[in-house]
Structure formats: C-alpha cells, structure tokens
C-alpha cells in the first residue's frame, strides 16, 4: 500500500489516532464493560419476540422514533419544554454534538473520564482540553476548571455524572458553578443514572446551556445501541440536522419501547446490582493492600500495590475473570483496576480469586 496516499488523503488527527480496542471475552467471566449481567425472564422474552415477528423490516424505520421518544420522555421525567435527540448509543450522540461545533473549537472534560470524549474530539480535529481530577477524592478541581474555561472558552464541556472510571458523583455545587461559568454547552453524561440516585434532569428548565445525556446500555440493553440527550429545543433542533435520518433502526425502536415499559424489571436488577456493589466494596477493602473507592455506578475502581496492577489483571484473566486494567492510562489511575458488578456468584468468584492473588504477592 502506498503510504503516501494514506498520508495525503486523511487528516493528520485521524492518522495519529489508534483504533478503540475491545478486549476478547470469550469463555471469561465478563466484568470489564459495565454491562448488566441479567437477562429477561422467559415470559417477557416471549412477549418481545411476538413484537419482533410483526416488525415491518422491509420498511425504513420511523425517522423521528415518535413512540419511543414518548416512552423515554415519560420514563425519565423529561420536562415538556425540553427537546430530545436519540442516538445509536450515546457514543453517536457525542459524535453528533462534536460534529456540530465550529472548526478547532475547544472541548473540555475532566481527566480521567470517559475515553470517547477525547477520541471523537481528536478525530474531528477539535482542541481537546482536560483538567485533572483531585487525587483520592476524584472531585472536580474547580479552580483549574474555571481557569481553563476562562482561557479556552470551550464550546462544550462533558461531565460524566457519575464519572467513568472513578465511579463518583462530582459535587453538585461544583457542577452548578461550571454550568454558570461555561460560555458554551455543558453535557451531563448520566450513563450510570440507574445506580446513582442523582440527576440533573430536573435542572434542565433552569439552564439554557445544559444538556443531559443517558443511555440504555448500562441499564441492561448494551446490545441495542440506544442513547438520548435532552435539553433546550433550539439546541436539539440544530443537532437533529446532523443526525442521519434512520440512525435508530426498527428493531431497536420496538425493543427499547417494549423494554422501557418494563421499567420495574430493570429497577429490580439495578437494586440487586447496588446491593452486590456494597458487598464487593466491603470485601475489596478487607483485602491486604487493596484500596477500593466508593461507587455510585455499577463498577468499582480499586488501587493495587505499586507496580502490581498488570500482574493482578493477568492473574485474574488466567483464572477466567476479565476486568479492566486502567494503570496504563497513568496519572491518578496508575496501579488502578476497575471491576464491573456482575451476578452475585460471579462477584464471589472474583473476590475469591483476588484474595488468593493478593496473598501470593506478599
């Protein structure tokens, strides 16, 4: 292949990126990607299959996904004056948001946070800036953030609430200060809302530059690829111009609409996950030399002895358990691993394996 061709046709920012790699999880207990481990009961599955069978798959989907939008609006208490945009996962919404910004705009997020903010911003040649979180508390460094806001005037700020990978909720007051100081949009990414008991949805009416983004992925529908963002109707209208007309396929529309009408089922699953989260947190903190951080999400970040994260990660993997090694990201994530809360029995296997591994490190 002529590398000269590659170098001339693609943007330098694209050439500098690496492909987002997803770990192979075949035959492993999968505790790496914040998925809900629970499937649907058989009777619900049968009702869903009937709907699927009747889906007019020869036709294009409803471009506006009206039925699903109404269900989402109701289920999430989105104020009537707010608009809603759907995306093929919130990943696509991040892309739509950033595609709409002027060339070379500044995009700001704390660090560490969700990696797609940076990945998409860089792919589009935007000026991605971050301000490090405070060590240990993982709180926003408010003065650093306000400084960057004043100097770089970001067109858009992402705040994951709770944050991935640190699992904490930033101070509500600090977020309000950021929203008030921001010259552009502020996106509160509530991917982990089902486990958090906190939200900015009820603040949408108060701030014209505030957007709240959610996804069904962590709730229990990661395979569907569906996210949404709510906010000022005039903002949503601009984003809708960039959205591809049929971005939400018919099967997703029908399935999500059906699933969200069984919200009680997902709530029960989320409650089980939260109970198990408390148990895993306590067990992790009993282990010698492990420090686990409090979590408002369906995963836990924990710190291992210096230089041991890679060894522990590989040892778990060789025993059939896949978690996420964040240590290569460096900074405050050095020596850190992240585990998703799985089924109760999977969590027990994880704790048992980790107990043996940490004892053998002594």
Smallest distance, ligand PLP to C-beta of residue 26, A: 21
Token pair 């850190």: residue? 336
The answer to whether 219 and 196 are in contact (CB under 8 A) is: no
Q: Stretches 69-77, 84-92, 302-310, 325-333: which one binds ligand PLP (CB under 6 A)?
A: 84-92
Of 217 and 269, the one with the shorter C-beta distance to ligand PLP is 217
The answer to whether 75 and 263 are in contact (CB under 8 A) is: yes
Half-sphere exposure of 60 (CA within 13 A, CB side): 7
Among 154, 194, 227, 342, binds ligand PLP (CB under 6 A): 227
Of 110 and 353, the one with the shorter C-beta distance to ligand PLP is 110
**Contact call for residue 114 and ligand PLP (CB under 6 A):** yes
Q: Stretches 21-29, 86-94, 235-243, 352-360: which one binds ligand PLP (CB under 6 A)?
A: 86-94
Smallest distance, ligand PLP to C-beta of residue 215, A: 3
Q: CA angle, 190 as apex, 184 and 195 as ends, to 5°?
A: 160
- Cα 176–chain centre separation: 21
Among 65, 69, 85, 91, binds ligand PLP (CB under 6 A): 91
Q: Interface mask (CB under 6 A) for ligand PLP, residues 131-160, using x and -?
A: -----------------------------x
Alpha-carbon span 319 to 317, nearest angstrom: 5
Alpha-carbon span 170 to 250, nearest angstrom: 37
Smallest distance, ligand PLP to C-beta of residue 56, A: 26
Phi, then psi, of 325 in degrees rounded to 5: -95, 110
User: What pairs with residue 211 in β-bridges?
Assistant: 187, 231
Of 164 and 269, the one with the shorter C-beta distance to ligand PLP is 164
Q: How many residues does the chain have?
A: 362
Of 215 and 327, the one with the shorter C-beta distance to ligand PLP is 215
Q: CA angle, 39 as apex, 34 and 40 as ends, to 5°?
A: 135
Of 222 and 287, the one with the shorter C-beta distance to ligand PLP is 222
Residue 104's contacts (CB-CB under 8 Å, 6 or more residues apart) are 125, 126, 127
Smallest distance, ligand PLP to C-beta of residue 196, A: 11
**Contact call for residue 95 and ligand PLP (CB under 6 A):** no
**Contact call for residue 90 and ligand PLP (CB under 6 A):** yes
Alpha-carbon span 181 to 352, nearest angstrom: 47
Q: Interface mask (CB under 6 A) for ligand PLP, residues 173-212, using x and -?
A: ----------------x-x---------------------
Of 298 and 358, the one with the shorter C-beta distance to ligand PLP is 298
Residue 111 CA: distances (Å) to CA of 140, 147, 160: 9, 15, 11
Residue 4's contacts (CB-CB under 8 Å, 6 or more residues apart) are none
Alpha-carbon span 91 to 116, nearest angstrom: 7
**Contact call for residue 89 and ligand PLP (CB under 6 A):** yes
Residues in binding contact with ligand PLP, number by CB under 6 A = 13
**Contact call for residue 250 and ligand PLP (CB under 6 A):** no
**DSSP code of residue 61:** P
Residue 217 CA: distances (Å) to CA of 43, 105, 228: 22, 29, 11
Among 82, 130, 166, 217, binds ligand PLP (CB under 6 A): 217
Residue 222 has which token pair? 């990661």
Q: What is the DSSP secondary-structure string of 296-318? A: SSSEEEEE-STT-HHHHHHHHHH
Among 119, 148, 215, 296, binds ligand PLP (CB under 6 A): 215
Among 36, 130, 131, 164, binds ligand PLP (CB under 6 A): 164
**Contact call for residue 119 and ligand PLP (CB under 6 A):** no
Q: Stretches 85-93, 123-131, 167-175, 319-327: which one binds ligand PLP (CB under 6 A)?
A: 85-93
Interacting residues toward ligand PLP by CB under 6 A: 34, 89-91, 114, 160, 164, 189, 191, 215, 217, 222, 227
């Amino acid at each position: 292949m002529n590398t000269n061709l590659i170098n001339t046709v693609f943007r330098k920012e694209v050439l500098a990126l690496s492909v987002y790699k997803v770990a192979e999880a075949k035959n492993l207990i999968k505790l790496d990607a914040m998925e809900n481990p629970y499937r649907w009961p058989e009777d619900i599955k049968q009702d869903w299959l009937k709907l699927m069978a009747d889906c007019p798959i020869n036709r294009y989907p409803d471009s506006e996904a009206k039925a699903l939008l109404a269900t989402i609006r109701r289920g999430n208490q989105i104020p009537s004056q707010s608009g809603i945009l759907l995306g093929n996962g919130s990943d696509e919404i991040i892309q739509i948001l950033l595609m709409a910004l002027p060339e070379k705009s500044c995009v700001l997020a704390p660090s560490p946070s969700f990696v797609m903010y940076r990945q998409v911003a860089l792919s589009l040649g935007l000026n991605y800036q971050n301000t490090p979180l405070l060590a240990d508390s993982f709180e926003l460094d408010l003065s650093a953030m306000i400084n960057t806001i004043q100097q770089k005037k970001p067109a858009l700020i992402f705040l994951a609430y709770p944050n991935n990978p640190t699992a904490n909720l930033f101070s509500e007051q600090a977020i309000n200060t950021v929203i008030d100081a921001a010259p552009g949009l502020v996106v509160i990414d509530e991917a982990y809302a089902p486990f958090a008991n906190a939200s900015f949805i009820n603040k949408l009416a108060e701030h014209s530059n505030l957007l709240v983004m959610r996804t069904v992925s962590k709730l229990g529908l990661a395979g569907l690829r569906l996210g949404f963002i709510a906010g000022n109707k005039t903002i949503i209208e601009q984003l809708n111009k960039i959205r591809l007309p049929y971005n939400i396929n018919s099967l997703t529309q029908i399935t999500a609409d059906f699933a969200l009408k069984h919200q009680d089922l997902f709530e029960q699953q989320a409650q089980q996950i939260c109970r198990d989260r408390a148990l895993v947190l306590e067990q992790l903190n009993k282990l010698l030399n492990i420090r686990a951080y409090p979590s408002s999400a369906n995963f836990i970040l924990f710190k291992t002895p210096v230089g041991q994260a890679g060894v522990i990660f590989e040892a778990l993997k060789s025993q059939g358990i896949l978690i996420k090694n964040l240590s290569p990201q460096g900074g405050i994530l050095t020596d850190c691993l992240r585990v998703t809360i799985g089924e109760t029995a999977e969590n027990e296997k994880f704790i048992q394996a980790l107990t043996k591994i940490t004892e053998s490190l002594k």
